[in-house]
Structure 1
Amino acid sequence: MSVIEVSGLKKAYGGRTVLDGVEFAVEEGEIFGILGPNGAGKTTTVECVEGLRSPDAGRVRVLGLDPVADRERVTRVLGAQLQESELQAKLTVREALELYGAFYRRPADWRHLAQRLGLTDRLDVRFGKLSGGQKQRLFIALALIGNPRVVVLDELTTGLDPRARRDTWQLIEEVRDSGVTVLLVTHFMEEAQRLCDRIAVIDKGRVAALDTPQGLIGRASSSTVMSFTPSQPLDQRELALLPGIAAVEAGHEPDRRIVITGTDETVGAVLSLLARHRITAGRLRVVDATLDDAFLDLTEDITEDLTEHQES
């Protein structure tokens, strides 16, 4: 049995369809990511998983439980960090951690969570005095304080500085290694590529793709970008005939820098061509495709649809 099962999930607001048959399953002990453009239905999906919203149709199960019908039992096994949350302004960090810990039979050590999330020196600071990043770290701690078997993290590191973000990533990896299953919603491609075992890309209320980060990257229109400045002029027609070539762009004099989009096979073919013509590749740079490239390829039709709608 999968830890989270979502099938045929549908939801509409005021006649506008937000989810249109979303389906995926999350296996025990994995970090499962959800990516998608703004308004694609990501947060609505996880709110249905958390039991905060009732779907119009479809089925959601968390460890075999219905998040709506079995809400009390689900709250014992599922922790959640919402995209937007608030606490009473006068509540201190210590009081919030102690209060939330009191809701559970076997809570985590909130002192350890505070230390890992850089909140130890903020324990006696009132919530209303915390910075945005400090509030975010507190909500992550509150999501983990119940020792959940499943945790949902919506925009995990929004507002955190780069060091705090990487420290939080390490914490989430430790949480996963302890046996907790993580459902992660994020806009940070580096975060998804670093943390996630598998990713569902939601586009227009449907799952457009579901694969590992590397699997999604492999779907990008081109996996490698190669650029260099040739020591002497090079016939672009020869480059265009090489295997795996998707595009060739050449700069103007005096730089003459060439940018080639293609595959791993393309790199070797270009270097062989240059060697045959005894041309040196100055400032050679080869960059592999990233999750950003795959995401843009998978969701670019949204931009096209919006543009067509605006023009009409």
Structure 2
Amino acid sequence: MAKRSTLVSGATAVAVLAALLGRAVTVHSVGPTPLIYRVIANNNDLDAVEGLAPPGRTVELWYRQRNFIEGDLVAGSADPFSWCAWKNNGNRVMLGWTQADANGLWRFQHLRDRNTVMILPAGPGANRCLGGIYTELLPRACDSPGVNCTAWSVPVLHNLNVRKITPTVGAAAGSVSGALQTAIAVADGPNDGTEPTDVVDVDQNGIDTTLPGFVAGQRVTWKCGAGGTAVCPSVAIHDASTAVTPDPEYPFVLGTIQAHRDGGSVIAAAAIARGEPLGFAVNVNVRFRGRLDVNLGCDRKLPFDFGLGYLF
């Protein structure tokens, strides 16, 4: 992973500030039910959520979680996907409430300071519940907290399978339905540099089912072989650390699916063992984007942005 220092000029700084402000004031059509389009996790934990709702409405944000064992849906498979028990007996937990501004924008920030919600696994689990975390993010619009609120509705995760195609190539496959925007990624480290010689640590595939050729909310399946909706993403499992230049990598191979619709979003993440020693391991910081046409600001126009440093 190559590193280059960059000098930011005053004009560039002004442009960056304008972009950040632009994300807060851009006007978009807003439906009656809240939609999440941006989620941030820092150090494996949920840290920020941003979305749209009718202007002036109170927006509550709830969540619930369960573990799963990553795998496929093939009958008789030696690596089957399966669900584990719900956390908190399946009861939803409220993270807070806020109010949509005049443009319908609402956001929750610094969530790690209030109620830690770990949405990315701490280590590989393979055939154990430890390795997979499923999270529902549940926004609803109300007249006031708890009064006349809209209903929650989330996409359906059918499976997530993280595996090695070869001993040095990791891949992620899976399936969801009921999502307007969805994406899958596999990563063995944060985003790479821009040099031609850089080894890619992240591969991703996003699908917007509202576009021509799809049916809104249709089932989307990423397969590494024949069939499905799209090809599975894959990366070379490689640590480019040297004696003098560390290459930050995750201590596992991480597969992630995100799926969004009005009324709720789901994030599923699972980790498997890398199978090689590491020179420099880091926790996961990642920005999830549902709709890429809403308040992009300085975000990269990608469904997943795995960063090395703290994300805002």
Range into which the TM-score falls when normalised by the shorter chain: under 0.3
Bigger share in strand: 2
Tell me the TM-score normalised to structure 1 length.
Answer: 0.21
- Higher relative contact order (Cα pairs below 8 Å, separated by 6+ residues): 2
Q: Highest CA radius of gyration, 1 or 2? A: 1
